[in-house]
Structure 1
Amino acid sequence: MPNPRPRAPLATPERPGRDLSKPLPAALSWITLIAFSASLTGAYFALGLAWWVPALYGAASVVAFAAYGIDKVAARRQANRISEQTLLVLGLVGGWPGALVAQQVFRHKTRKRSFRRAFWGTVGVNILALAAYVSLTAPVLGT
């Protein structure tokens, strides 16, 4: 006996050969953001981190958040998209906290395995660069 109810179509049809996987737990993003925010705040107050460093992260995060939102709208409309390279560069220059929030809010760029790997790689590079900057510019404690 055939099924009397047809299945509802998917919101976005799956293309063959796409590099899709199950999204990472949202808690990973939020825990990363909380830990980074606490570390950045601690470096600002305890180590005298320059004011422009948190300001740079804030401004770049706003731009990255907006870019992810614009790209999500374009994806739904099948319009011209923002390149993944641009999204990754925005994260690399300090916008990754905003990009993480946007990924969760818009449910965008959370399933493509190759993008996720590249994104988390840029997060790691950015954090290592920040740690190097902090260690080179922080006053020597105990002197």
Structure 2
Amino acid sequence: MYFVLINMISYIVMGNDKRKAKRGAWRTRERTLWLLAFIGGAVGGWIAMQAHRHKTKHAAFKYGMPVLAIVDLSLLAYFS
């Protein structure tokens, strides 16, 4: 249940950051996006990146988020 919830939150926060970027509003810190990914929300963050075309040109996000997503899924499979 935690995995689903944290990924939903990560997806929403990433999508919200994209909306803020389009409007020129105050943005969500990258540190927050990474924190959500590190605590299990990398899959949701990566899906949001693809769906909203957000942070896809940043190498750290482009390569780091999928790696973290694989780690998250591997840990989920191991502990399930």
Q: After TM superposition, is the score higher than 0.5?
A: yes
User: Could you give the per-residue CA deviations for residues 3-62 of structure 1, whole angstroms, max 9, x where no partner exists?
Assistant: xxxxxxxxxxxxxxxxxxxxxxxxxxxxxxxxxxxxxxxxxxxxxxxxxxxx11100011
**Would you tell me which structure has more helix in proportion to its own residues?**
2
CA distance in 1, matches of 2:43, 2:70: 12
Specify the code of the residue in structure 1 equivalent to 2:47: V
CA distance in 2, matches of 1:83, 1:117: 18
Tell me the equivalent position of 1:68. Answer: 14
Identity of aligned residues (%): 30
TM-score (norm 1): 0.48
CA distance in 2, matches of 1:72, 1:108: 6
More contact order relative to length (CA 8 Å, sep ≥ 6): 2
* Structure 1 vs Structure 2 CA RMSD: 2.2
What SS does structure 2 have at the residue aligned with 1:120? helix
TM-score (norm 2): 0.79
Q: 1:96 aligns with which of 42, 46, 52?
A: 42
Aligned residues: 80
Whichever of the two has the greater Rg, that structure is 1
Distance 1:116 1:97, change over 3 A: same
Shift of 1:126: 3.4
What SS does structure 1 have at the residue aligned with 2:62? helix
Distance 1:100 1:121, change over 3 A: closer
